[in-house]
Amino acid sequence: MPFDLAAHLGAMSRTVENLERDGKPAKAVIAARTFETDAADLWDALTNQQRLPRWFARIDGDLRLGGRFHVENNASGTITACEPNRHIAGTWEFAGGMSWIEIRLSPEGSGTRLELTHIAPVDPHWDKFGPGAVGVGWDLGFMGLARHLAEPQAEVAMEAVQGWFGSDEARQMIRSASDGWGSAAIKAGENDDHALAAAEATRQFFTGEAPPPEM
């Protein structure tokens, strides 16, 4: 079955929640959608180090409880919870900062719902980019996973293909995700103008456009 980007974008759910982590303000960025496969296959796609580069990235290390992992050209972390076919969680350590990720799988209709939560501290980076700072990257991962399940013969994540970020498909996907996270921020109580400006900054970052000049 060919991958349908419009159908995938319509299946995505994006939510932002306000909370505290270690006594400090934080935000939970929650991305979810249902995939037409069973939990065992979805879990294998998430944890099989031969499959991961085909839709996400190369991950080295030990994807078991207590194991350390490293995402190529990205974050490292420690697995803090692991229940096969249901739940995995860990730290997300990047550029000297610490945040936390959690993935839950649950049956839904004839498929399996994947819900990913990324808890990030409220800091200047968040103030500039909002939930899209982490959310758009995870949207790219969800897109890669959906494409992998629809086109299992593909050997590399689409966003890793040279020139993809300059394509119409990439621009459509990034704009939709950025706008979606801006709307989620507004629903969570963020000022409309601030949320929309952060969403636009995120879009420009992921498309490689120069930010608008300061007035």
- pTM for the predicted model, two decimal places: 0.94
Residue 215's pLDDT band (cuts 50, 70, 90): very low
Question: How much of the chain, in percent, has pLDDT values that exceed 70?
Answer: 97
Tens-place pLDDT, residues 152-206: 888 888 888 888 999 999 999 999 999 999 999 999 999 999 999 999 999 999 9
Closest CA to 139 of 112, 166, 174: 174
DSSP-derived 3-state class of residue 193: helix
Q: For 150-195, give the DSSP string.
A: H-TT--S-GGGSTTGGGSHHHHHHHHHHHHHHHHHHHHTT--HHHH
| Domains of the chain and CATH, by start | 5-207 (3.30.530.20)
79 pLDDT more than 50: yes
